[in-house]
Amino acid sequence: MRTITLEEQEQIEGIIKKCKVCYVGMSDNEGIPYVLPMNFGFHENVIYLHSAQEGKSISILKNNPIVCVTFCTEPELVWQNEEVACSYRVRSESIICNGKVVFEEDYDEKVKALDIIMQQYSEREFKYSEPSVKNVKIWKVEIEDISAREYGVPGVKAIKYKDRVIF
């Protein structure tokens, strides 16, 4: 099975749209990694995240705002020959991107960011209480570089892919 590099912006955005969680990796002053699963929004090459105003991640990011954000679609076990272990693979799509966190403090911009986050999960419009907006920490990550892959793609000689015949 093959791994394919994806480069089309439309494909990349489609993968991000399928995801419900992203993983945000950062590194503290001693170089110790810290990774969080987070809800997110994505719009015009910017990832929007939200958290409490204080905590371990905020402390780390104040000293080192560089992050790695990853996305992965729901994995599916696939095979080319059910009897041969090495023909098994997990089929999924993933994205790895890097950028720097900038904390948004402007009230109206925070509301826009919350709207973008909520659009990832629902097409509804939402209202926010003033205390909620004031007390949330909004992270903006402008993507500086990105790579996308599709894993477990059946080869041209594949006979069986899960329960479907491929030619």
Q: Which amino acid is at 107?
A: Y
How far is it, in rounded angstroms, from Cα 91 to Cα 25? 23
> Per-residue confidence of the chain (167 residues) as pLDDT tens digits?
677 788 889 999 999 999 999 999 999 999 999 999 999 999 999 999 999 999 999 999 999 999 999 999 998 888 877 888 887 888 889 999 999 999 999 999 999 999 999 999 999 999 999 999 999 999 999 999 999 988 877 766 655 555 554 54
pLDDT score recorded for residue 5 = 81
Number of Cβ atoms within 10 Å of the Cβ of 141: 25
How far is it, in rounded angstroms, from Cα 25 to Cα 159? 39
Domains of the chain and CATH, by start = 2-165 (2.30.110.10)
